Structure 1
Amino acid sequence: MSHSHGHGCDGDHDHDETPEMGVQYSLYSKIDVDNLECLNESEDGAGKTVFKPWEERLNLEKYVESDVDEELLFNIPFTGNVKLKGVLVIGGDNGAHPSKMRLFKNRPHMTFDDVALAPEQEFELHADDTGTLEYSTAVVKFSSVNHLTIHFPNNFGSEKTRIYYIGLRGEFSTAYRHGVTICSYETRPNVADHKIESINPVTHEIQ
């Protein structure tokens, strides 16, 4: 009767990993939230609430639910360039968790008419209510992302899809705005460069 239960090691990851994971999943703070779009959300603005700090991932008070069918489409603009390494999804129970995820890179304002296009990557999802399953992206394809579109085409059988949390892991770099700094060099010409005295004045003689 010497069964080993292994308390405290397997499955007790939350306490040890939370600080580190909070840093890794900080890309939510680099989203241009004002311009984030969620199509087919049942409540306007609800889609923005699922991008939140890692520590709040299990807060079930805020969520987005699909409206007329099970599809949801997120258009996510960033405030710079992102190297996306992983995505994590916490969804609803009773079949409301999305069962597939399709990722598109740098295609702003996609609609459901556009999702027939081939995505950069797609995943078959597993129901996850604790935020322990990460889907690793092909980093080569997602090394310079300024806009990410996530399409959830279906779920595990419910009429509506519900999502509580979407975590994005990766690296962020500030976008360089070419042209603005270049123009500033020419704004103030140096008067000394223009030899005004060498210009021959035109004399008008009144006859």
Structure 2
Amino acid sequence: MPHEHHHGCGHDAHDHDHDQIDDLGPQDSLFNQIDRENIVALNGDGDPSVLVKPWHDRLDETKSLQSDDDDELIVHIPFNTSVKLRGFMLKAGPGAVTPKKVALYTGDSVMSFDDLSDKVPLQELEVVESREVGEYPLRTAKFSNVSSITLFFPESQGADKVQIYYIGFLGSWSEHKRGPVVTVYEAQANLADHEKIQGTDGAFSSAQF
């Protein structure tokens, strides 16, 4: 069906601190590898960056993202570096506004609802209704070398909206590094490559003492 859902981006809502934040969660938490400033939500009512919280705020229910026109929601999350995902964490709901499931896709571009209708997700998870943070294992082989991920919540568990409080990922990461700069030095000078000395007809004269 056609969609005219609103497009939300964390960057437009307010300024963010680019510095890393102490995250006292699991050692393989990818909180500081998420580019929180550039998270995008389609059909989201509010700032999607509030979903990515430090571990000690994971149960906080004062900030959330709710779907807007109906119970479909897309959240696109870029990473600052290449990551390998092993787990997905979610706090949503409670009750009927809990998403029924979530489909995961990788790719740099923000996918629309129409884009996703033609794609098969890398993995689809059934969401458990709970006030706690649910941890869902991912098929690591399908989520290696990931630069961004798209989460599609296609329906609620009975309400006309979905509501999400917290999203997190577990895994490993590698820093993007430039290749080494190689400087080539001459092992032996080639006189033909050097400028001629005026007054010598192109010859290099030896020093006169």
- Aligned partner of 2:174 in structure 1 is 173
SS state at 1:29 partner: helix
CA distance in 2, matches of 1:82, 1:165: 19
Cα deviation code 1:12-58 (max 9, x no counterpart) = xxxxxxxx970346312211122210111112x2x110111111111
Stretches of structure 1 that go unaligned for 5 or more consecutive residues are 1-19, 202-207
> 2:158 is aligned with what amino acid?
G
Is the alpha carbon distance of 1:31 and 1:95 closer, same or farther for their aligned partners in structure 2, counting shifts above 3 Å? same
Q: Take 2:79 and 2:40, find their aligned partners in 1: how far apart are those partners? A: 12
Paired with 1:25 and 1:52, the residues of 2 have a C-alpha distance of 15
Please state if 1:31 is matched with 2:34.
yes
Residue of structure 1 equivalent to 2:92: 91
Residues 1:118 and 2:120 are matched in the alignment: yes
* Structure 1 match to 2:76: 75
4+ long deviations beyond 2 Å: 23-26, 197-201
Residue 100 of structure 1 pairs with residue 124 of structure 2:
no
Q: Which amino acid letter does the alignment assign opposite residue 123 of structure 1?
A: L
Would you say 1:163 and 2:149 are equivalent positions?
Answer: no
1:22 partnered with 2:25: yes
Runs of at least 5 residues in structure 2 that lack an aligned partner in the other structure: 1-22, 203-209
Q: Deviations along 1:111-164, whole A, 9 cap, x unmatched?
A: 111111101111111112111x31111100101101111111111001110001
- Give me the identity figure in percent: 34
Q: Distance in 2 between matches of 1:113 and 1:139?
A: 27
What amino acid does structure 1 have at the position aligned with 2:194?
K
Q: Residue 42 of structure 1: which of 45, 57, 68 is its match? A: 45
Equivalent position of 2:20 in the other structure: none
Letter in 1 for 2:122: E
2:195 is aligned to: 196
Q: Would you say the 8 A contact 2:95–2:129 is kept in 1?
A: no
Provide, for residues 74-112 of structure 1, a one-character-per-residue CA deviation record: whole Å limited to 9, x for no partner: 111111011101011111223001111111012421111
2:56 and 2:28 map into 1 onto residues whose CA distance is: 10
Give CA-to-partner distance per residue, 1:140-190, whole Å, 9 cap, x none. Answer: 010110111111111100111000111211112112345xx55x858xx9x
State the shift of 1:70 in Å. Answer: 0.7
> Taking structure 1 as the reference length, what is the TM-score of the superposition?
0.75
**SS state of the match for residue 150, structure 2?**
strand
1:127 aligns with 2:129: yes
Is the Cα–Cα contact under 8 Å of residues 82 and 146 in structure 1 kept in the other structure? yes
